[in-house]
């Protein structure tokens, strides 16, 4: 899993506009779960809506494998939700009967709670992608890492209507032993990737598809983005990749927990 940080520049603008207000609202709070939370139709998602005392620790090892086994593929979508591109991605996933894992930031979840609810209602799983997508988190204090992870967990859970994220993906892969242990203690498996499509660089849909085909032997977890700029190339690439993988006998699943 190579580090990537191509999305950092757009977050600088988004955070500059929103983080001040967000962090005033968020503070340094520790997430408090809501009993009787609302779940979507996915059994996994429904099971994740637990009271705080019932949160179960998971492995702190970075997950890459698929719960569908050797022919499994995990579609993961980062940085949203985005009001223009997330609905298009959801439509494609629905068309091809694919479930995915959405790694959402606290800021975007707070800004677009209806989209977070749409993701859950469609049976997809949620992943904590920090509050502000700071790709230098691994260079910051443990207190800072804790705020970014726990406040995002709370913001995402509130936006979803009570469904907790089941994974934690560090922005740009900036994991630390502390952040992995903290996420695991909150029931969020650290989540890596095997195929970085580089779609955030907008290399063209052909190049994105070629990257998937070339790097899929590296492992089953594919990284795409539904926010951070024009994602039309990502949408077009998914339109080609999803049926092609199905034709090749792959089964779409979720990362192991």
Catalytic residues: 78, 225
Residues forming a β-bridge with 101: 76, 125
Local structure of 167: helix, strand or coil: strand
**Token pair listed for 95:** 């068309």
**Token pair listed for 231:** 């994602």
Contacts of 141 (CB under 8 A, 6+ apart): none
- Round to whole Å and give the CA distance between 201 and 197: 9
Phi/psi at 39 (5° precision): -115, 160
Nearest one of 146, 221, 213 to 186, comparing CA atoms: 146
Helix, strand counts (H, E) of the chain: 9, 8
Planar angle of CA 65, 7, 186, nearest 5 degrees = 45
Local structure of 84: helix, strand or coil: coil
Calculate helix-pair angle for 142-160, 177-185, nearest 10 degrees. 30
Q: Are 118 and 90 in contact (CB under 8 A)?
A: yes
Q: Are 66 and 221 in contact (CB under 8 A)?
A: yes
């Amino acid at each position: 899993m190579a580090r990537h940080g191509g999305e950092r520049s757009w977050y600088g603008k988004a955070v500059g506009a929103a983080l001040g207000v967000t962090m005033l609202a968020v503070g340094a709070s520790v997430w408090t779960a809501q009993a009787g939370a609302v779940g979507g139709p996915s059994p996994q998602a429904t099971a994740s809506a637990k009271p705080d005392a019932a949160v179960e620790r998971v492995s702190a090892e970075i997950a890459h494998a698929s719960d569908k086994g050797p022919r499994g593929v995990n579609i993961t979508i980062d940085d949203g939700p985005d009001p223009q591109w997330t609905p298009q991605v959801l439509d494609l996933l629905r068309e091809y009967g694919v479930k995915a894992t959405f790694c959402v930031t606290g800021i975007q979840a707070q800004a677009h709670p209806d989209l977070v609810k749409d993701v859950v209602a469609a049976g997809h799983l949620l992943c904590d992608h920090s509050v502000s997508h700071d790709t230098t988190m691994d260079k910051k204090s443990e207190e800072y890492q804790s705020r970014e992870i726990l406040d995002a967990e709370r913001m995402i859970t509130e936006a979803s209507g009570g469904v907790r994220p089941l994974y934690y993906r560090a922005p740009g892969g900036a994991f630390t032993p502390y952040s992995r242990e903290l996420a695991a203690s909150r029931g969020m498996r650290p989540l890596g990737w095997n195929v970085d499509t580089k779609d955030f660089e907008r290399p063209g849909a052909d190049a994105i598809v070629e990257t998937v085909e070339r790097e899929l032997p590296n492992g089953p977890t594919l990284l795409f983005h539904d926010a951070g700029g024009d994602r039309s190339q990502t949408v077009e690439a998914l339109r080609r990749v999803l049926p092609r993988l199905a034709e090749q006998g792959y089964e779409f699943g979720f990362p192991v927990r």
